[in-house]
Amino acid sequence: MSHPLRSRYAALPKAHLHVHLEAAMRESTLRQWCAEDRIEVPPLVDYPDFAQFLDAYGVLIGLLHTPERVEQLLDEVVADAASQGVVALEYASIPEKAAAFGTAEEALEFILPAAAEAGRRHGVWTGAIVSIDRGAGPDHARDAAHLAARFADRGVVAVGLVNDERDGPVAGAAEAFEIARAAGLGVVPHAGEMAGPEEVRAAVELGVDRIQHGVRAVEDPAVVELLVERGTCLDVCPTSNITLGVYPSLERHPLAALLEAGVRCSIGADDPLLFGVDVVDEYALAEERIRVSPERLVECARTSIEASFAPEEVKRGALARL
Ligand code: ADE
Ligand code: ZN
């Protein structure tokens, strides 16, 4: 990728709304911790199927077994975000996995202030998305939502819904979403990635705030129309979709078509370490390979800021700099 493009998009103020904390680990840090723990470095960038992608993800999670490591991870992730022009970072994680040295409650009590502290150090607003594992059943979903709700005024901004959509439809999390919403939290499930447009429709009908991926809406014009009508933002991560086999190449990715139809989209990197791209690369690749115009990409940055859960003053400051 050309360097002038990278520096242009690094300078663009943006919110990063779709990124999983553990998978935003630096590669140098991964290699160091694997060496310390005497385990093999997982495969990066190449996954024959979703299950093997989740296996690599599991290795990253397994490295986060001390508070010092989680603190270092948060500092590095937020520092990297700052250097990518990110003014607001919404990082997703399953708390008890991202900080595997206590209960879920203790994990959040550690992660949230450490993230806020890193945010102050590097000049980035941070908000946590508590991910519900869609394969872990209704008790887990309810517990995760209640947990997120207890931290609604301490840095948690939303609940998400992650892992393979083929393991459970978005409607299965309806009760968890209600719990989150009653606490004033946002709802931002993954949908329309491994499953088709019917799951995007189901998410919109549940009243979600944004959809992570959502790109397969493009297969049904009525669902595209619904997204436009509701103004629902899709947090799109093109390279993730290629690596996990949703589309054969960036040239065939539907981001340009969705924007052309009037769908609001933010751009994210999903799992930067596992897909070999950061959010700046994703903007540059969208221009170079998906053929989205620079003007539309500035609109994506604007949308990301507007659609984020950051406080109004953070948004106003960032929008003024666009
Ligand atoms: N967790 C991390 N990345 C994910 C993805 N692309 N889809 C579902 N769950 C995820
Ligand atoms: Zn994701």
Q: How far apart are CA 124 and CA 305, in angstroms?
A: 13
The type of residue at 255 is: L
Ligand nearest to the CA of 243: 1
User: Mean pLDDT in the chain?
Assistant: 97
Residue 1 has pLDDT above 80, yes or no: no
Ligand at minimal distance from the CA of 235 is 2
Q: Catalytic: which of 22, 165, 193, 199? A: 193
Nearest CA to ligand 1 atom 9: 163
Q: For 257-286, what is each residue's pLDDT tens digit?
A: 999 999 999 999 999 999 999 999 999 999
Q: Is the CB of 281 under 6 A from ligand 1?
A: no
Q: What is the pLDDT of residues 219-266, one digit of tens each?
A: 999 999 999 999 999 999 999 999 999 999 999 999 999 999 999 999
198 annotated active-site = no
**Residue 162 Cβ contacting ligand 1 at under 6 Å:** yes
309 C-alpha to ligand 1 centroid (Å) = 20
Name residues with Cβ closer than 5 Å to ligand 2, which is an ion: 270
User: DSSP per residue over 170-195, as a string?
Assistant: GGGGHHHHHHHHHTT-EEEEEESSSS
Quickly list DSSP for 114-147.
Answer: HHHHHHHHHT-EEEEEEEEETTSHHHHHHHHHHH
pLDDT at position 3 is 76
CA nearest neighbour of 20 among 42, 68, 53, 43: 53
With a 6 Å cutoff on the Cβ, whether 271 touches ligand 1 is: yes
Pocket lining: 190 vs ligand 1, CB cutoff 6 Å: yes
Measured in Å, residue 34 CA sits from the centre of ligand 2 at: 24
Residue with tokens 């589309």: 247
